[in-house]
Amino acid sequence: MSTFDKTLSAILMAAILLCAGVIIYLSITPSSNDKFTEFYLLNADGKASGYPFEVQAGEPVSVVLGVINHEYKPANYKIQIKQNGAIIKNVMVGPLQDKQKWQEKVDFTVEGSGQSQSEFYLFQDDGAEPHIKDPLVLKLNIQNL
């Protein structure tokens, strides 16, 4: 094997080891940009389809709400359900450890009639502003008995 081949092999081996080291470092070192919380809404059967639409005023509406903490620290959460800007229910969640999941069936009652929507806001650690800016929205057609 020539000197050129030995040098080229050494450079190639060093590059492979350097790439492997970078990959290992990046996979075990969390980035501060990766902090987030999953927040989701499912139908009463736990599926992402067939949400309630036609509901009766004063009757319970059932959905499944879920939160998964990816904040790299324990966190407490509160879900606030609103209809027409008014709070109709608060659901306390937590504390959740990092990567811990909470999922529960939640019932709430709506009033009024006609087209309306229920909004689900997620708050973290007693924050005054929602942790996730945009709420989850469930559009409803409310009927009176």
Q: For residue range 32-75, what is the model confidence (pLDDT) as tens digits?
A: 667 899 999 999 999 999 999 999 999 999 999 999 999 989 99
**Do residue 41 and residue 100 come from a single domain?**
yes
Lowest mean pLDDT among 20-29, 110-119, 127-136: 20-29
**Do residue 73 and residue 9 come from a single domain?**
no
**Do residue 66 and residue 125 come from a single domain?**
yes
For residue 42, the enclosing domain spans 35-143
Q: Which residues pair with 87 in a beta bridge?
A: 82
Nearest to 67 by CA among 30, 109, 27, 95: 95
- Maximum Cα–Cα distance across the chain: 92
**Do residue 43 and residue 23 come from a single domain?**
no
**Do residue 49 and residue 67 come from a single domain?**
yes
pTM for this structure? Answer: 0.76
Total domains in the fold of the chain? 2
**Do residue 20 and residue 82 come from a single domain?**
no
Nearest to 68 by CA among 29, 124, 26: 124
**Do residue 22 and residue 50 come from a single domain?**
no
Contact 117, 74 (CB under 8 A): no
Contact 68, 99 (CB under 8 A): yes
Q: Output the domain CATH number for residue 70.
A: 2.60.40.10
